[in-house]
Structure 1
Amino acid sequence: MSEAPFIAAARAAYDATAEPYAEAVPGKLADMPLDRALFGAFAELMRANQNTTVADVGCGPGHVTDLLCGLGLDAVGIDLSPRMIEVARRRYPKPRFEVGSMLDLDLPDGGLGGVLAFYSIIHLPWTERPRAFAEFHRVLTPGGQLMLGFQIGDERRHHDEAFGKPIDLAWYRQQPGEVAELLRDSGFDVRTTVVTEPEEGQAVRHGHILARKPATAA
């Protein structure tokens, strides 16, 4: 079966920029106290459900996967880009890292306590979100936790250069209410939506959603 062009484009873009991306991005977590607090809440919710296995989907160079391990979670990072996974394995020896797609996770049904997609659904065409959310739901245990992060807006943007390298990458902003409704349609209970105003150097508001796969069937 042929691969969707948007998947091939995202893989090629992040393969091309893996090294400079890994140098530039991880340190930004130090300036994101709210995000770190939400990661802490996410970890607490997972521990309350007594399953601390979590997939960081679209993990990039692995800095957030490593943070999740530091919070006491059993974390695996998953990314489309083989080059990003190489970088992550070199930088962070504690977590496990695997090449994979959020649209077809090589994970068993109902095995994970949590799924994190931290600014990784932004490269999915809007029409592909239900497919990804259904896959997140499939791999989570009953009561399992989902956390999403994204930029807020209605537009599709395109990047043809990053870190001085030519790329071909689409970037889709999201509306929190629309994302929450899609999650409900996929079987999730939406627990919290957090919207933050732009910080210095940011152009748009950012959204975070915490959701849960119901502990029992409705």
Structure 2
Amino acid sequence: MGRPVEDKSRVLIIREDTFLKGEIRNGGRIEVFGYVEGDIAGDQLIVQPGGRCFGKVKVESADVRGTLQGDIFVRQLISIRGTGEVTGNVKYGKLAMEMGGMLTAEMRNVPPSISGDLDLAVDKGKAVRITLQDLSALDPDDAAEQLTFTVSQVRNGFVTLATDPARPVDAFTQADLEQGTVLFRHDGTDEPRASFAVVVADRAGATSGAAQTVNVAVRS
């Protein structure tokens, strides 16, 4: 999501399965369980355990139990809990930090992660475009062309690019996905399922971890 979000209800909750890229303006209480990347302005920011927030933040108060990184201005109190980690250019009125909490000015490379529903559907023997809803990379400190997916464990088809759709590829970038040029082509076999696995890496070599499987339903 790239467009600005202006909170009308004064409460905005980013759920665990939600990935928001863009701006949050005039927020009341902003509660992050999922992933937020962009500019945030509001009254209170709460980053829950497992929540990740990256970008330029300007709020009255903050309660951090997850990850907060970027250019951060908290007018009053920032509380960093035992599971919280705050990194970057941080300015605040008051600070409260529990044992185990972390506050550092050193910006760290954030490893990329994979998002999307990881599910496709393709007609037998045909090709389907892989969209950002199907598969995408999240990384606040690398450009799309610097995020490279490696393909493995391909079954009943192959991944290819629209520029040469008959040739299998074992790698593509987030930029390729954003341009709509990444395809999965079914091999025409009678099995009802196909699949492939992916790992994404950034320019520093940090990865998303274990390979994740993209499942493909085959329509006869």
The TM-score bracket by the shorter chain reads under 0.3
TM-score in terms of structure 1 length: 0.26
Please say which structure displays the higher CA radius of gyration.
2
Query: Higher helix fraction: Structure 1 or Structure 2?
Result: 1
Query: Higher strand fraction: Structure 1 or Structure 2?
Result: 2
The one of the two structures with greater contact order (alpha-carbon pairs below 8 A, sep at least 6) is 1
TM-score in terms of structure 2 length: 0.26
